[in-house]
Structures are given as C-alpha cells and as structure tokens.
A and B are shown apart, each in its own frame.
Chain A
Amino acid sequence: DQQVKQNSPSLSVQEGRISILNCDYTNSMFDYFLWYKKYPAEGPTFLISISSIKDKNEDGRFTVFLNKSAKHLSLHIVPSQPGDSAVYFCAAVGGGSQGNLIFGKGTKLSVKP
C-alpha cells in the first residue's frame, strides 16, 4: 500500500512556463515533506521541504504548497528552465516511519527550450 503517491509519471513544459508537480499521501500523521530532484546516474538532491504546520514554503523559483485537509502537496517551479529536467520525488517523514523517508514513484519533468 503506497503511502505517498505521484500519479503523473511524466510532465512536459515549455521553458519559461510554470511546472506543477503533484503528490498525494494517505498517512495523516506525516509531519514533514520533502522534494528531491534526481538526474540520471546521480543520487537524489534535496530541493525544498515543508513542515505540516505550514501551508507554503518558497525558495527562489521553487514553492511547495501543502493542503493537509486534502492530503495533497504540490511543487511549483516558475519559471521553468531546461536544467530543471529531471525526475522529481516527493517524500514524507513521520507517522511512525521512525525518521526514514517514504518516497513516491517520481515524476519525470522535461522542460523544452
């Protein structure tokens, strides 16, 4: 049973436009959420995070929104750049996970020039 779900395997966006990546979760006890970016042949790199007590966190071109009632979070990238093309993983901590990350399956973002 997947506790963290990324239902879109891929997303294609034009350079300069907004990229919106979505993530749903089932465990209401998760208290911290993270987004990781992964290039081929590299390990995941931390991008941005949000605590469950907040509904928005912003860092430059990246903003994460959390809707606890809907158990949904989204990552917005504005403006999108070709270098943003990668696989993006949503991950959650807490809810009995003992501090380990529970990942979604990832969304492959392609930003076209």
Chain B
Amino acid sequence: EAGVAQSPRYKIIEKRQSVAFWCNPISGHATLYWYQQILGQGPKLLIQFQNNGVVDDSQLPKDRFSAERLKGVDSTLKIQPAKLEDSAVYLCASSHNMVSYTFGSGTRLTVV
C-alpha cells in the first residue's frame, strides 16, 4: 500500500509571499487531515476533510490559510501572505476509520 505523499519536502519563502503544499492520501481513505507542527510542539490540527467536505476548520487561520479537496482525493493547503510564525512542518494524514491514521513525511516551511 502506497503511503501518504506530500510535496514539496522543503520550502523557503520570504514573509508576505504565498506558498502551496500538496497531499495525496492513501487510496480509499475518506478522511484527510492537515496538521501544523511548530518546533518543540506536537502537531496541531488545521483542517479535517471527509471526502470533499470540511469537518473541522476551527483552528485554521482563515485570513491567510486556505485548503481544498475538490474531488475528495488529493488536497492543497495554501498560505497567503506568509508570516514568520508560519515556519513549521506541515503534515498531511489520512484515515479510513478514524482509528488508524497514516502520516506523510511533511513539508518543512521556513519563512524569512
């Protein structure tokens, strides 16, 4: 079984620029999550999709962050404009039963 694919692995941008991350979950997994992990912290949920619908985006800073999962498969997370405090690892995860969760390798974002 192929794992959760994420790209790019690393990204360095200047503050106020925009950036997008891509995630392809495990085939057949209806639920997709984006987590933000700041250095020294545990991952924090940004948004949860069930198929192509949003289940929870209560912790997504909607003034600058957006995410979509148009066909219920892959997903993109965008930040516009980026701030220094957005420097973090962005993790995508998927699940088919909300008991087993598989994570991708993450995208490490550095905002300078």
Contact = CB atoms under 8 A, between A and B. Distances in A.
Instruction: Please determine whether chains A and B interact with each other in the same assembly.
Output: yes
A34 B43 contact: no
Interface in B26-76: 31, 33, 35, 40-45, 48, 55-56
Contacts of A44: 43, 91, 103
Interface residues of A, number: 24
B101 A103 contact: no
A65 interface: no
Nearest to B59: A100
Interface residues of B, number: 27
Given A43-B91, A44-B91, A49-B99, A101 B105 contact: no
Contact of B106 (A6, A34, A43): A43
Contact of B42 (A4, A49, A93): A4
A43 B104 contact: yes
Contacts of B103: 36, 43-45
A43 B105 contact: yes
A105 B41 contact: yes
B99 A106 contact: no
A103 B100 contact: no
Nearest to A34: B101
A42 B106 CA distance: 7
B105 A42 contact: yes
A98 B56 contact: yes
19 contacts: A4-B42, A6-B42, A42-B106, A44-B43, A44-B91, A45-B103, A46-B102, A89-B42, A93-B98, A98-B48, A100-B33, A101-B35, A101-B43, A102-B45, A103-B42, A103-B44, A104-B42, A105-B40, A105-B42
- What are the 4 tightest A-B residue pairs by CB atom distance, in nearest-first order? A103-B42, A99-B98, A43-B103, A43-B105
Interface of B: 4, 6, 31, 33, 35, 40-45, 48, 55-56, 91, 93, 95, 98-106, 108
Given A100-B45, A101-B33, 11 more contacts: A43-B93, A44-B103, A46-B101, A89-B42, A91-B42, A98-B56, A99-B48, A99-B98, A102-B45, A103-B44, A106-B41
